[in-house]
Structure 1
Amino acid sequence: MRTGRLVKALSGFYYIKVDEEIYQTRARGIFRKSGMYSPLVGDIVDFESDNLKEGTLINIHERKNALNRPQVANVDQILITMSLKSPDFSFYLTDRFIAYSESFDIEPVLIVTKKDLNIDDNLIDKIKETYKMYKIFFTSKEHFDKDLGDIFTNKLSVLAGQTGVGKSTLLNTLLPELDLETGEVSKALGRGRHTTRHVELIEKNGGLVADTPGFSIIEFTHIDKETLKYCFVDFDTPSESCRFRGCNHINEPKCGVKNAVESGDIKQWRYDSYLQIYEEIENYKERY
């Protein structure tokens, strides 16, 4: 029996990498019969094989996380790609992606594209100040931050971000051999076309990157509203001074987080994002 990482799933075949070799396998029927979860790209798996073309996947190791879109397991970081212009930068959408990353205990990394189209330097400063607790990179059509390549080492990365912000272009810059199809932003609709294909892990600077252009739509159906506050890391320290231990920072008196918002230590737009997502989760649970 061998152990390796599942790097591609396509047409019923699972491709498992061990050192420099990739084995083509099929899953044993037990996955369908026993109700076990299906293999996902990124899984650490056990398999049996006498050659590179005919193997059997027999076991999936315990996952630390698993995303539905794209379908990838054991993700270390999500590269949240947002543009300054066309489409305009959205703090709310950025907060959604960051909270989503935190909910899976995945490190968020913010990549802001189209710096060459920006005419408001105050916006860049506002972004840096709001998300100073995270890694932030700014890129443009003519300038690509070389330090961005260093973030992949020993990590499995996926991309996320608003449609049309340049996720495919970014991946093509990082991994020219992919030659991913890129979708231009529709001037009429103000948004891009989805160009997502099957997921495959590609090596980059000692790490692995999912070659899908990423995902732009997320839901918070996997967490409770009481858990959401832990997905806003800038709430952690102020919440220590909350009067009530289970404070959700909504209507409770003597709330440390609300005091921090009033003093400016927590940005108002971050808190507004929290309230909107909280209400979304609350409404979802009531409907179902």
Structure 2
Amino acid sequence: MKDRQSRMTGRIVKALSGYYYVQPDRENGSAPASLLQCRARGIFKKKGVSPLVGDKVVYSVTENGEGTVDEILPRTSELIRPPVANVDQAVLVFSVLEPALNLQLLDKFLVHIEHAGIPAVLCLSKQDLAASGEKADAAREAARKVREIYEPIGYEVIGTSARLAEGVEELRDRLTGRLSVFAGQSGVGKSSLLNALVPGLSLETNEISMKLGRGKHTTRHVELIPLGNGSFVADTPGFSQLDFAELGIEDLGRCFPEMRELAAECRFRGCTHVHEPSCAVLAAKAEGAVSESRYEHYVQFLNEMKEKKRRY
């Protein structure tokens, strides 16, 4: 039996090729210890549980200088895609242009974040494109539209430009003391933003393919980047589409905060907000209190989920 004194706590900051890299917890203000390469105990596999990046764990050091993850401490949250535990907030990075702002994709991300019960911050990158040049008007209009739609329903919107270092300090303040996951369409400048936040980080970035209107994936695996002061950012693999596999049809309306608040006023319990009489959501939409684009995307997602259900 292992000596209990050798059991220590830390956080998994990277998972790669069956190994988990644990950042040991700091003791009494000491400098952070170097990462320890660990394997997970076989008991996790038997239980059908996998350690995730972000997990707080109990680990022990083996004779060969590596470690073993012995226990996963209780999680406060869990994202399925990207697979990260104990996320305090999601920073959804969308560019005002290049690639063009995709509100449907933004709403799809927000549905998944709301379903996971994680607060979201909207980060509008590449604000320098709105400063001057032939694309400035389109970029400014995109930024105005996002603020007009999303701020009234409670989402914080931060404009940034990694190139001009605009909004970087405001974003850094929002990240302090939290584990934040950065997510968004490929090519929106997540890596450039992280490079601006962490000097010397030098994450690989790729130019946008103008022909395709999107960037190539630059991130290969989920990894936590320490920002200091107990702050971590999860740089996640770029992805441009999400499915609703883990979401039930009845959950969808609750993932739109403005609809969630109105649902209690609907005449029918379990109202789908599509065709029912005396629907508070439809009434609010008619009055302009629910955004047209948000409602359209809700209906699209609902139909997508129903179609998937019929297929299986």
CA distance, structure 2, for counterparts of residue 27 and residue 163 of structure 1: 31
Match of 2:184 in 1: 161
CA shift in 2, pair 1:52/1:270, >3 Å? farther
Match of 2:19 in 1: 13
How many residue pairs are counted as aligned between the two chains?
287
CA shift in 2, pair 1:14/1:123, >3 Å? closer
CA contact (8 A) 1:195 1:213 kept: yes
CA contact (8 A) 2:124 2:157 kept: yes
Match of 2:8 in 1: 2
Q: CA RMSD in A?
A: 1.9
2:141 corresponds to 1:128: no
Letter in 2 for 1:225: I
1:37-88 deviations in Å (ceiling 9; x for gaps) = 1111111111122689322111112333333433211212111111111111
> Which runs of 4 or more aligned residues in structure 1 lie more than 4 Å from their structure 2 counterparts after TM superposition?
none
Aligned mate of 2:164, from 111, 121, 142: 142
Letter in 1 for 2:157: I
CA distance, structure 1, for counterparts of residue 170 and residue 158 of structure 2: 8
2:261 corresponds to 1:248: no
Letter in 2 for 1:138: G
Offset at 1:198? 2.4
Deviates more, 1:84-93 or 1:202-211: 202-211
2:78 corresponds to 1:66: yes
Aligned mate of 1:172, from 191, 195, 202: 195
Match of 2:137 in 1: 119
CA distance, structure 1, for counterparts of residue 68 and residue 16 of structure 2: 15
Unaligned runs of 5+ in 2: 1-6, 27-31, 130-135
Deviates more, 1:243-252 or 1:170-179: 170-179
Unaligned runs of 5+ in 1: none
1:22-43 deviations in Å (ceiling 9; x for gaps) = 33322122223x1431111111
Match of 1:86 in 2: 98
CA shift in 2, pair 1:51/1:200, >3 Å? farther
TM-score, normalised by the number of residues in structure 2: 0.86
CA distance, structure 2, for counterparts of residue 93 and residue 159 of structure 1: 15
CA contact (8 A) 1:15 1:23 kept: yes
CA distance, structure 1, for counterparts of residue 239 and residue 79 of structure 2: 10
Letter in 1 for 2:95: S
Letter in 2 for 1:278: L
CA shift in 2, pair 1:221/1:213, >3 Å? closer
Match of 1:209 in 2: 233
CA distance, structure 2, for counterparts of residue 64 and residue 234 of structure 1: 25
Aligned mate of 2:53, from 20, 41, 44: 41
CA distance, structure 1, for counterparts of residue 53 and residue 303 of structure 2: 33
CA shift in 2, pair 1:212/1:245, >3 Å? closer
Aligned mate of 1:278, from 292, 299, 302: 302
Letter in 1 for 2:22: I
CA shift in 2, pair 1:254/1:147, >3 Å? same
CA distance, structure 1, for counterparts of residue 146 and residue 41 of structure 2: 48
CA shift in 2, pair 1:44/1:52, >3 Å? farther
Q: How does 1:170-209 map to 2 (within 5 A)?
A: 170-206=193-229, 207-209=231-233
CA distance, structure 1, for counterparts of residue 271 and residue 210 of structure 2: 44
Letter in 2 for 1:9: A
Aligned mate of 2:42, from 29, 32, 42: 29
Offset at 1:197? 1.9
CA contact (8 A) 1:159 1:215 kept: no
Aligned mate of 1:76, from 88, 91, 99: 88
Secondary structure (helix, strand or coil) at the match of 1:111 reads strand
Letter in 2 for 1:274: Y
